[in-house]
C-alpha cells in the first residue's frame, strides 16, 4: 500500500494524539494515506471512531507487538466506504 505520510504517536497522550493526526491529515490532499502507529488500545478505538465520523476512511488496522498500525485515507472519498467497522475493530 502506498503511504503518503507516517505518524508515530505511541508515546503521545490523549487528546494530543488526535490533534496530531487531524493536523497531519489537514495538510494532506484528499485520497492521500496516512500510516499511524498507536500504542494505547483505548486511544486507538477513540481515534478510529472520530476519524470515520469526520469523513476519513480506515483502510486497514494491524495489531503489532508494540501497538496498532492504522492506515487512514483522507476524505472526502466519494463512494469508498470504510473497510473496517470501528465499533467492532476495537474489540478485536
Nearest alpha-carbon partner for 22 in 56, 64, 61, 45: 56
User: Which pTM value belongs to this model?
Assistant: 0.80
**pLDDT tens-digit readout, 46-67:** 999 999 999 999 999 999 999 9
Domains of the chain (ranges; CATH) run 5-89 (3.30.110.40)
The pLDDT of residue 84: 54
Residue indicated by cell numbers 474489540: 91
58 within 8 A of 29, measured Cβ to Cβ: no
Burial 36-71 (b: 16+ CB within 10 A, else e): bbbbbeebbbbbbeebbeeebbbbebeeeeebbbbb
Looking at every residue in the chain, the average pLDDT score rounds to 86
Amino acid at each position: 500500500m502506498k503511504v503518503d505520510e507516517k505518524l508515530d504517536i505511541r508515546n503521545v497522550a490523549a487528546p494530543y494524539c488526535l490533534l496530531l493526526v487531524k493536523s497531519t491529515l489537514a495538510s494532506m490532499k484528499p485520497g492521500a494515506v496516512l500510516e499511524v502507529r498507536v500504542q494505547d488500545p483505548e486511544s486507538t478505538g477513540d481515534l478510529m471512531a472520530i476519524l470515520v465520523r469526520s469523513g476519513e476512511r480506515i483502510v486497514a488496522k494491524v495489531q503489532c507487538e508494540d501497538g496498532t498500525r492504522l492506515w487512514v485515507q483522507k476524505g472526502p472519498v466519494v463512494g469508498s466506504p470504510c473497510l473496517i467497522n470501528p465499533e467492532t475493530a476495537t474489540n478485536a
